[in-house]
Copies of this chain bind each other. A is one copy, B any other.
Amino acid sequence: MSARVGVDLGGTKIAFAAVDEQHRVLTRSRAPTPQGPEAVVDAIVEGVRELDAAPVAVGVGAPGPVSGGVLMTAPNLVGFDRPAPLAEPLGRALGVPVAVENDVTAGIIGEWSAGAARGSSFVLGVFLGTGIGGGLVLDGRPYRGAFGGAGEFGHMCVRQGGALCGCSRRGCIEAYAGRASMEHAIDVAVSKGRTTVLTAIAAEKGKVRLTSGVWARALEQGDPLARAVFGEGIAALAAGIGAAVNLLDLDRVVVGGGVAEKMGQPLVDRIAEEVQPYLLLPDVPRSFVVAELGDDAVVVGAAALADVPSLTLGLHPT
């Protein structure tokens, strides 16, 4: 038995999983995310040890660009405003090789190793959440880019001069398809007197935010405002996926994240249909599929990092 431990370092919690060689999760745990690199390293070391899995390797998915085992910046983590080495101190403390990768890249590696991207060599993963994440497998290898910052699909501009994005730029895909942006669009419309069932459904479900479940229910009920805003999101996603496919000639697009899990393959089929008119090479066997691993994608992908030769830069052999 040679388990690996995959770690998903998030803004509020750290998820740990011991994963076997067939990418199956054996055990899992969680811990709150502390503030600052040192405390985070300590929390990861403690969490890995407490799993008691005697791992042969540890992989970490971290929320920002990663280069050579260093988390360059992480807007969602407190105290990570400058480059923070993670692989090196973790490897030293744990006594096994530690690889660190961007969390969305780890997620697509998870789907590629054991989920919806299995068997493909040219994959875009799109993860729909508060923002829009992206990950790439190109030419049969996870793709990280020159400075570990690849995969910012959500910040491809599809409407120059368009809606303001959370990143302060205009016309990004995320400015239309991110859950935060869609919620903002609803707020603006409601403040102008438009009505929607979204807020009532949220209240009924006891939610402060418009969660994926709230959106799914409102769309099922045919709420016109929800449909319009969601439709703009799909349109922006389709233009962006079309642009990525034209640039990269991908053969698979995996769509994941909360709303994709809620709405499943029918949502992905709708996106695929709207992508089609953008494609310069439409008559080739490309598939558009919903992600399979859900929240486990990052831990499974992080655990698989030790097996990915092109990521050995992130390895710290002790």
Contact = CB atoms under 8 A, between A and B. Distances in A.
Interface stretch (A17-25, A89-97, A276-284): A276-284
Interface string A281-296: 1001010000000000
A46 B75 CA distance: 61
A263 B259 CA distance: 48
A167 interface: yes
Instruction: State which size class the interface on A falls in.
Output: 35 or more
Chain A at the B interface: mostly helix, strand, loop or mixed? Answer: loop
A1 interface: no
Interface in A158-211: 158-160, 162, 167, 169, 171
Interface stretch (A50-58, A137-145, A215-223, A265-273): A137-145
Given A139-B143, A158-B160, A152 B250 contact: no
A68 interface: no
A255 interface: no
A155 B244 CA distance: 10
Given A158-B160, A159-B160, A246 B152 contact: yes
A278 B143 contact: no
A243 B156 contact: yes
Contacts of A244: 247
A230 interface: no
A48 to B, nearest CB: 29
Identify which of A72, A152, A171 gathers the most chain B CB atoms within 10 Å of its CB.
A152
Interface of A: 65, 72, 121-122, 134, 136, 138-139, 141, 143-153, 155-160, 162, 167, 169, 171, 235-236, 239-240, 242-244, 246-251, 277-278, 280-281, 284, 286, 310
